[in-house]
Amino acid sequence: MFYRITKYNPKFRDEYGGYTVDEWIDYSCIGYTYNGKVFTREEYEIVENKYVTVITTAFRSSGVTTLFINQLTKHYYNPKEPNSDEDAPRCPDNIVTIIERGWIKTVEDLEEISKAILLGYIWAELTSPYYILNITFGYDYYMYVETMDEKVIQAIIQNLPEGMYIDGIDDYKMK
């Protein structure tokens, strides 16, 4: 099953699924005004941590011990790479180390890579062996969790932070 998990409240979608509220879509929106209020780094980090909570819940409940970093796209400057864009942001060394290794085995590494993806340093698909768990990220702060294991989605539902939503889940399952 494929689930879209977002910060966007489904009650503000139109009949075509479009989101009707003017809202921030990524880290670069900090400092801009939305609905009469300046979006701050603190507000960003609160929501970022909610996404990380969902990701780590999925990882822990799946029983997998490794996630591979697949389809990596880098959006940061790395002086060790000959064609790296000097104007791009510098990615923290610990993230580069995890990327170079190509896999994640600890919750701490998963948190760091997830934040790097959400911040836009990289884009990657996080995939377990045998595709028990697959986590991908879309534009505008959408996240997708793919799993055939019902206990993973139930764990996410039970631990879903306030202000996070799972598209496609009936309301009765959310209680």
pLDDT tens digits for 14-73? 988 889 999 999 988 999 999 999 999 999 999 999 999 999 999 999 999 999 999 998
Query: Cα(91)–Cα(95) distance, rounded to whole angstroms?
Result: 7
Q: What is the pLDDT of residues 82-114, one digit of tens each?
A: 565 666 666 777 888 898 899 999 999 999 999
Asked if residue 24 is part of any domain, the answer here is yes
Asked if residue 87 is part of any domain, the answer here is no
Looking at the 3D structure of the chain, how many domains does it have?
A: 1
Could you give the angle at the alpha carbon of 108 between the alpha carbons of 94 and 117, nearest 5°?
65
Asked if residue 21 is part of any domain, the answer here is yes
Angle between helices 107-119 and 93-101 (to 10 degrees): 110
Would the pTM count as exceeding 0.85?
Answer: yes
Asked if residue 13 is part of any domain, the answer here is yes
Asked if residue 144 is part of any domain, the answer here is yes
Asked if residue 86 is part of any domain, the answer here is no
Asked if residue 52 is part of any domain, the answer here is yes
Asked if residue 95 is part of any domain, the answer here is no
- The residue segments making up the domain with residue 144 are 2-74+103-174
Report whether pLDDT(11) > 80: yes
